[in-house]
Chains A and B, each alone.
Chain A
Amino acid sequence: MMNRNIVYFAVFFAMLVFVGMFQSWTVAFSIFNLCLISAIMALGVNIQWGYAGLFSVGTTGFVALGGVAAVVTSMPPVQEAWTTGGARLLTALVFAGATIVISVLLWKRMTKGRIRGFVVAATLIIGFFIFRYLFDPAVAEIESVNPAAEGYLGGLGLHIIFSWIVGGLFAAGAAWMIGKVALGLRSDYLAIATLGISEIIIAVIKNEDWLTRGVKNVNGIPRPVAYEVDLQQTADFVRAADWLGIDTVLASSLYVKFSYGILFLIVLGLIIWLSELSLNSPWGRMMRAIRDNEEAAAAMGKDVTKRHLQVFVIGSAVCGIAGAMLTSLDGLLTPASYQPLRFTFLIWVMVIVGGSGNNWGAVLGGFIIWFLWIEVEPLGLWIMEWVTSGLEDGSDLKDHLRDSAAHMRLVTMGAILLLVLRFNPKGLIPEK
């Protein structure tokens, strides 16, 4: 059994080496780095689905929150924006938070009845307009500060590695709120609610320019590793590259990717270790008992909803960490890139294919599916080229078929999900 798992991983690495030798090593390394991040996301989803049977459709949102964390933690603060509108904006946000807290308290403290509903609604509505009164001018001021390059508040200027933790916390916070609402109801409700929160998070990132510059993207997010340009100007590095007989530019790019890989491996290792530990602890056994028979577990006095909330928050936090890592790998935040398909659904395919409930399965799924996701497109293009080779250049059909290669990726992923779900629902590495 164990051997078969090793074979799976060996086959994956062989494919990677194949890409390295015949396509390019840079490509192989960048694929691998994203494989590592995908594996972490898959672990996060696996914690929710595999451990507890929770179906969340909001991974994209949690990943995106990780991206925001990277910006607000590590970008240098924009002093001018802070001085012009920062104070007012913070006041607005604090005020909004206070309004919500007060409303919740009123709801809990006041006696049930029409008056309570009226008072709480009035608090919220008046609070909303005061918030807008404070918020709107502040945003306008911040966004008018050097809009071409800044126009936002910037971040705290901390080291980017911190943002990985912050990303986890952001995602955990959002997950806690949504879990509070949707858990304990029918299982489908969590799916629908997470779909909603994810769309809202993405809308916020796309539209709140003062926070994330919106569709103008945030460039130049600090890196946790060296820059290629610096390496190429370091004498030692150039000498080492020469000694190895590799072109300096290529060597610098490989070195950077390799350093990222090491960092990601450390995080992945840490998360796997913790996941395995928790899965095999009494807590993990209880989680699985709840998953397999919720009613029996509830009858034995387990607070199912509370456990579910716990596991949902932890899983989302892991996705948030991965999201922050992804943004620090890219070095930029592109709000438009957070497509549900790319994150939520693809990660699901990873977990199902790899083996839900098994951490190593999730990792393997993350590796293999990401690899296929990247490599299927050139393959699809190549197939389309071959299919259309008989057609005249410039014919409508040929253009259409070529353009459609990308769409076939969707169909392929959907088909893989359905086939695995139907014929091998336990995945490549089944739960022990």
Chain B
Amino acid sequence: MDLLNALVVLANFVIIPGIAYGSTLALGALGITLIYGILRFSNFAHGDTMAFGGMFAVLGTWWLQSKGISIAPLPTALLVIPFAIVLMILFLLFCDRTIYRYYRKVKASPIILVMASLGITFIMNGLVRFIIGPGERRFADGTRFLISARDFKAMTGLNEGLAIRLSQVITFVAAIIIVAALFWFLNKTRTGKSMRAFSDNEDLALLSGINPEKVVTIVWVLVAILATVSGTLYGLDKTYKPFTYFMLLLPMFAAAIVGGLGNPVGAIAGGFVIAFSEIFVTYAFKKFFGYILPKDMLPSGIIQIISTDYKFAVSFTILVLVLLFRPTGIFKGQSI
């Protein structure tokens, strides 16, 4: 019984949040890795791209809520995501045509593109704060819990509750659907294969008649989808706050690099590695050990490896270890 309670505690505070957070990071890292694979630079604007996509979703949700439209028990935001994606596609293509295309044409070094992405980060950052404000914005509605802690206790008779929020489930399911669709696209369609070919060997892709501008356009469309979905779902699961998306940049980069920049499978694995390490290392295990250790052996502290204030130290440490020992990432093989 105690062992079961301990496992429930672990599931409730580590495993379920880890899956939801990992899904977000995986989607984010996928966006970063796709851009790296095709446009060959690290996109520092990706966090703010997610914030931008999330912003469209928040605004759309508010509008629908004001009209009394809802798809309860599901959150209204799900209804808005497709429209937000369309807006983001237009916005990202506009950025690409006005800014990045020029550097591609003059074959600028990748670091110049990184700097340009930093400039775009600023602008997006400012625009988001201008349009929706820097504070927290709530837009979640619909059913909050799939299983609440109290129901779980009543159902199982255990001391500990297991709460599963609907937003966590949606995040995970959406991640699975998107990843499956993305891999189908990359591996089974002609256009997807041409993207992989372009990422693999640009010159040979040109010789084969693959149109680089078309490949780039499709990348931005994919990135718009990934960023809007992950940005919206992250906001739905926590709350929407522009600043938090910039802070996601480091874990997302770490995830992408752990998996090997340009490698989509690696990005997904990396996302979960980072998410679980972060939550595991910053979780206070006192309650967990309270069930499995005898009372007199229980240490007095909260049994937390490091404080949550240092959670990005986890991403960073993993990043450093990978850079030291396997700079190409832990997953060899396919680049997108």
User: CB within 8 Å of B: which residues of A?
Assistant: 53, 55, 57, 128, 136, 181-182, 185-189, 191-193, 195-197, 199-200, 203-204, 206-207, 340-341, 345, 348, 352, 400, 403-404, 407-415, 417-418, 421-422, 425
- Which B residues touch A195, using CB under 8 A? 44, 249-250, 253
Given A192-B257, A348-B115, A407-B134, answer yes or no on A413-B309 (Cβ-Cβ < 8 Å). Answer: no
Beyond known contacts A188-B111, A196-B250: 11 more, CB 8 A cutoff = A181-B324, A185-B327, A187-B109, A192-B254, A200-B316, A203-B312, A340-B246, A341-B125, A407-B127, A409-B126, A414-B125
User: CB within 8 Å of A: which residues of B?
Assistant: 41-42, 44, 99, 102, 109-112, 114-116, 118-127, 129-130, 133-134, 246-247, 249-250, 253-254, 257, 261, 301, 305, 307, 309-310, 312-313, 315-316, 319-320, 323-324, 327
State whether B42 touches A411 (Cβ < 8 A).
no
**Highest count of chain A CB atoms <10 Å: which of B99, B122, B123:** B122
From the candidates A181, A192, A421, name the one contacting B253 in the complex (CB within 8 A): A192
CA distance A415 to B323 in the complex (A): 33
User: Shortest CB–CB separation between residue B36 and chain A, in angstroms?
Assistant: 8
User: Shortest CB–CB separation between residue B272 and chain A, in angstroms?
Assistant: 19
State whether A55 touches B115 (Cβ < 8 A).
yes
State whether A410 touches B320 (Cβ < 8 A).
no
Given A188-B111, A421-B115, A422-B102, answer yes or no on A410-B122 (Cβ-Cβ < 8 Å). Answer: yes
State whether B323 touches A181 (Cβ < 8 A).
yes
Given A185-B323, A411-B127, answer yes or no on A417-B122 (Cβ-Cβ < 8 Å). Answer: yes
State whether B41 touches A188 (Cβ < 8 A).
yes
Cβ-closest chain B residue relative to A199: B312
CA distance A57 to B134 in the complex (A): 23
From the candidates A196, A199, A200, A352, name the one contacting B115 in the complex (CB within 8 A): A352
CA distance A185 to B305 in the complex (A): 31
Given A200-B310, A203-B313, A410-B125, answer yes or no on A192-B319 (Cβ-Cβ < 8 Å). Answer: yes
CA distance A16 to B323 in the complex (A): 47
**Highest count of chain B CB atoms <10 Å: which of A182, A187, A421:** A421
CA distance A146 to B307 in the complex (A): 24
From the candidates B44, B123, B253, B257, name the one contacting A410 in the complex (CB within 8 A): B123
The secondary structure that dominates the B interface is helix
- Which A residues touch B309, using CB under 8 A? 203, 206-207
CA distance A400 to B130 in the complex (A): 8
- Which B residues touch A136, using CB under 8 A? 301
From the candidates A55, A408, A425, name the one contacting B111 in the complex (CB within 8 A): A55
CA distance A185 to B118 in the complex (A): 21
Given A185-B323, A411-B123, answer yes or no on A418-B99 (Cβ-Cβ < 8 Å). Answer: yes
Cβ-closest chain B residue relative to A204: B310
CA distance A188 to B109 in the complex (A): 11
State whether A410 touches B126 (Cβ < 8 A).
yes
Cβ-closest chain B residue relative to A412: B126
CA distance A196 to B317 in the complex (A): 9
Cβ-closest chain A residue relative to B41: A188
State whether A193 touches B129 (Cβ < 8 A).
no
User: Shortest CB–CB separation between residue B153 and chain A, in angstroms?
Assistant: 34
- Which B residues touch A348, using CB under 8 A? 115, 118
Report 28 cross-chain contacts, Cβ distance below 8 Å, ordered by A residue.
A57-B44, A181-B323, A186-B261, A187-B110, A189-B257, A191-B44, A192-B319, A193-B319, A195-B249, A195-B250, A196-B316, A196-B319, A196-B320, A207-B310, A340-B246, A345-B118, A345-B121, A400-B133, A403-B133, A407-B127, A407-B130, A411-B123, A414-B120, A414-B123, A414-B126, A417-B122, A418-B99, A421-B119
Q: Which 4 A-B pairs have the closest CB atoms?
A: A414-B122, A410-B126, A411-B126, A414-B123
From the candidates B116, B130, B250, B254, name the one contacting A421 in the complex (CB within 8 A): B116
Cβ-closest chain A residue relative to B112: A421
CA distance A137 to B43 in the complex (A): 43
CA distance A195 to B252 in the complex (A): 12
Cβ-closest chain B residue relative to A202: B312
CA distance A417 to B129 in the complex (A): 19
CA distance A186 to B134 in the complex (A): 34
State whether B130 touches A404 (Cβ < 8 A).
yes
- Which B residues touch A408, using CB under 8 A? 126, 130
From the candidates B111, B122, B247, B319, name the one contacting A411 in the complex (CB within 8 A): B122
- Which A residues touch B254, using CB under 8 A? 192, 196
Cβ-closest chain B residue relative to A419: B119
User: Shortest CB–CB separation between residue B114 and chain A, in angstroms?
Assistant: 6
CA distance A404 to B110 in the complex (A): 33
CA distance A382 to B41 in the complex (A): 39
User: Shortest CB–CB separation between residue B112 and chain A, in angstroms?
Assistant: 7
Cβ-closest chain A residue relative to B253: A192
CA distance A407 to B125 in the complex (A): 8
Cβ-closest chain A residue relative to B320: A181
- Which B residues touch A403, using CB under 8 A? 133
User: Shortest CB–CB separation between residue A198 and chain B, in angstroms?
Assistant: 10
State whether A413 touches B122 (Cβ < 8 A).
yes
